[in-house]
Amino acid sequence: MTPDELSHVLSAALASAVADGTFALDADAVPTSVHVERPKQREHGDWATNVALQLAKKAGVPPRELAQELATRLGSTPGIKAVDVAGPGFLNITLEAGAAGELARTIVESGAAYGRNDSEAGKKVNLEFVSANPTGPIHIGGVRWAAVGDSLARVLEASGAEVTREYYFNDHGAQIDRFARSLLARARGQEAPEDGYGGQYIAEIADAVIADAVAAGDTDPRDLPDAEAQEVFRSRGVERMFGEIKSSLHDFGVDFDVFFHEDSLHGSGAVDRAVARLQDAGRMFEADGATWLRTTDFGDDKDRVVIKSDGDAAYIAGDIAYYLDKRERGFDEAIIMLGADHHGYVGRMMAVCAAFGDTPGVNLQLLIGQMVNLVKDGQPVRMSKRAGTVVTLEDLVDAVGVDAARYSLARSSVDTSIDLDLDLLASATNENPVYYVQYAHSRTCAVDRNAADRSVARGDGFDPALLDHETEAVLLGRLTEFPRIVAQAAELREPHRVARYLEGLAADYHKWYSERRVLPYPDEEVETVHRTRLWLNDAVRQVLANGLDLLGVSAPERM
RNA sequence: GCGCCUGUAGCUCAGCGGAUAGAGCGUCUGCCUCCGGAGCAGAAGGUCGGGGGUUCGAGUCCCUCCAGGCGCACCA
C-alpha cells in the first residue's frame, strides 16, 4: 500500500464519518487528501497522521476520541495490520508485511521510471543558471550553480516538466571591452590595464587568438591598429572563452540547451522593442535626460534607468528584453539561479515581470544561492588571482573528481553558504558522503553478481510476506518515499533533498545487509526467501541508481 | 541605516508545526573461517545564538536583540 492509497483510505473514512453524522464537520473542512508521514520512531508504526489533532477543534470532539473513531473505521481495511491511537491523538498505522513488500516488485518492474511523478506536469520551464561572464574560467561559485542547477533541471524533468537549460552570456558592454584590452595588452607584452584581467589564462587566450588568426590566414592581430586589434581579440577571445566554458561544463556533466548571447538582444532590436512595449504600457518616464522604468510601482525600492542619458542602454535593458524573449519563446516559468552577490536584482526583476503584466514568483522565479567560501587552516581565504587562490571548475574536478564535486555541492541547501577547505579537498576525499551512497549501490551489484553465480534468480519466486524483518520494514518504508522526495525537491526547487534521502536509503540498506543474507549459505538450497530478498536488493539498487542520476552522479557497479 | 541569507554535536551540514533533534567525518569500544569491513553494533558529544510571543504541540511561524555573509549605481 502506497502512502497515497493510505491517504485516500483515511479520507474516505473521514468522509463517511461526516456523512453519517458522527463528526459535525462542514464538508469543505474535510481534507481531500489526508497527510501521512513516516514516524521517526519505529514503534510508531509504518505511517502516522495528525488529522485528528487538526480537526478536533473544528469538530468539537477531543482529538483522541476523534482518532479512535477513525481507527475503528480503518481497522478492517485489507493491507492494514493495526491502527493505534497514540499521544495527544496521532494515528499510528502498521501495514501487513505483504502489503508493504509488494513494493519491491513494483520498483524493479518500473525500473528507471520509479520516482517519476507528475507534480510539475505540463509546465514549460526555462531554467537559467551559471551564466558566468565569458571573461575567464568558471570559478568555484559558478560550479555550485552548475551542480545544483543541472540537478534541479533533472528533478523537474522527473516531475513532468519540460525544461530548457539556458546559459546567458554577458558578451556586451564594458566588461568585455576590458577583457579585450587585457588580451591585447598581454599579446603586446604590456602591463594589464588597471581595470583589466591579469590571470595566466589571459596569456593563454591571447596566444590562442593569435594562432587562430594566423591559421585563418589573417594578419597577426598584434600588427593591426589598436581599434582593429582590440576587436579581433574581443571576438576571437570571447569565442575561445565560450568554448572553454562549454567544454568544462560538459566534462562536469552539465550540457545546456541554449547559450544565449546578450549581444544578440542589442543587435536584433529586441531591446528597443521591449522598451517600447513598456513605454506603451505607461511604465516608463523621462527624467534627468534618461529613460526610467517605474519599478517602484511593483515593490522595488527605487526606479531604474533603462536608457542612460548618453543614449546607451543600461544593463537592465538587456534583462528586460531577455525576459520578454523567454516569454515569447513560450515558457510558462522562467527560473533564474543567482548568487547572493546578485540578490539586489530580485526587486527590480520582479518589477519588470509585473510591468509586463506577468505574475512575479510564478512566471519569473529567482532562486538566490549563498556563496562558496574557501577556507584554509580554519581561516577564510579570499579568492584572488594574484595570490593564486582562485579555484576553477577544473581545479575542483582535478582534486576530487566529478562525482565528489557534484555531490558535495548539491547535497546542501543553497540557502547556506558552503565552506570548502582547500587542503581537505586535495587529500581526504573519502570523507565525502557520496562514497557511502555509491558503496551501497556497488554492494547491491556485488550481490547480483554472486546471485548469478549461485543461480538465484528473481523470476523464480517472490513472496512479499517473507520480508518480515524489522530492517525490511524500514527499508521498504524508505523506498516508498522516493517519488514524494523527488516531487518535493521539484516543488521546492531543492534538489539537495534527493542527496539526503539517498544517504538515508544507503544507511537502511547497509543495516539490512548486515542483518539478512540474500544468498543461501553454501550448504543450503535456493529458496523463495532468497529470491524474494533479491527482489528487495534490486529495488534498492534501482532507487539508488535513479537518485544518483538525478544528481548527475555515477552509480558504479564496482569501486 | 535599509534589504536578503545564515546561526543546530568537535568539523561540514540535514530537519516545508508533531512524538525521545539526526547524518557524514572525527574520537572511543566491539564485530570478517560463508553475499564487498569504503560496512555494521554500541559509547561519548546539544542552553537548536539570546529573549519574548502564537499553538494542544516550536529547531521550524511572528516580534526583538546579538553575531556572521552578501547586497543597496545613469557599473556590468
pLDDT in tens, A254-288: 999 999 999 999 989 999 999 999 999 999 999 99
Topology adopted by domain A432-550? Isoleucyl-tRNA Synthetase; Domain 1 (1.10.730)
Binned at pLDDT 50, 70 and 90, residue A4 comes out as confident
CA distance A436 to A425: 17
How many C-beta neighbours within 10 Å does residue A471 have? 17
pLDDT of residue A533: 96
pLDDT in tens, A465-497: 999 998 999 999 999 999 999 999 999 999 999
Name the nt closest to A428 by C-alpha to C1'. B25
Q: How many CB atoms within 10 Å of residue A139?
A: 18
Rounded distance, CA A456 to CA A519, Å? 7
DSSP code for A218: P
Cα torsion through A224, A229, A235, A240, rounded to 10? 90
If residue A306 lies in a helix (H) or strand (E), which one and from where to where?
Answer: strand A304-307
- Report the distance from CA of residue A41 to the C1' of nucleotide B9 in Å, as an integer: 21
How many other CB atoms are there within 10 angstroms of residue A435's CB atom? 18
Chain B nucleotides covered by protein, CB below 7 Å: 2-7, 11-16, 18-26, 34-41, 56-57, 68-76
Beta-bridge partner residues of A432: none
Strands A379-381, A418-421: pairing is unpaired
Q: Which of A19-33, A106-120, A408-422, A431-445 has the lowest mean pLDDT?
A: A19-33
| A555 neighbors A548 (Cβ within 8 angstroms) | yes
Q: State yes or no: pLDDT of A129 exceeds 80.
A: yes
Three-state secondary structure readout of A143-159: HHHHHHHHHHHHHHHHC
* Closest residue, by C-alpha, to the C1' of B4: A343
CA A558 to C1' B31, in angstroms, rounded, equals 24
Q: Which residue is nearest to nucleotide B39 (CA to C1')?
A: A510
Q: Which residues pair with A292 in a beta bridge?
A: A285, A305
CATH number of A129-265+370-429: 3.40.50.620
- pLDDT by residue (tens digit) across A419-460? 887 777 766 567 789 999 999 999 999 999 999 999 999 987
pLDDT of residue A387 exceeding 70, the answer is no
The answer on pLDDT for A42 being more than 90 is no
Tell me the three cell numbers of residue A97: 508485511
Alpha carbon A176 to chain centroid, angstroms? 30
E strand or H helix that includes residue A168: strand A162-169
The pLDDT value given to residue A303: 96
- Residue A427 CA and nucleotide B48 C1' are separated, in Å, by 32
Cell triple for A422: 582547500
**pLDDT averaged over chain A?**
91
> Region A111-132: what's the mean pLDDT?
96
Query: Would you say A36 and A10 are in contact if contact means Cβ atoms under 8 Å apart?
Result: yes
pLDDT digits (tens, 9 = 90+) for A180-232: 999 999 999 988 888 888 788 899 999 999 999 999 999 999 999 999 999 99
What pLDDT was estimated at residue A353? 97
Distance of A418 CA from B64 C1′ (whole Å): 28
Confidence at residue A429, expressed as pLDDT on a 0 to 100 scale: 67
Domain boundaries, chain A: 3-95, 129-265+370-429, 432-550
Q: Is residue A517 pLDDT above 60, yes or no?
A: yes
β-strands A290-293, A304-307 pairing: antiparallel
Q: What contacts 24+ positions apart, CB below 8 Å, involve A40-43?
A: A42/A470, A42/A473, A42/A474
Does residue A48 contact residue A95 with C-beta atoms inside 8 Å?
Answer: no
Is the ipTM of this structure higher than 0.85?
A: yes
Pick one of 3.90.1150.10, 1.20.1080.10, 3.30.1360.70, 3.40.50.1980 as the CATH number of A3-95: 3.30.1360.70
Question: Does the pLDDT at position A73 exceed 80?
Answer: yes
pLDDT at A55: 86
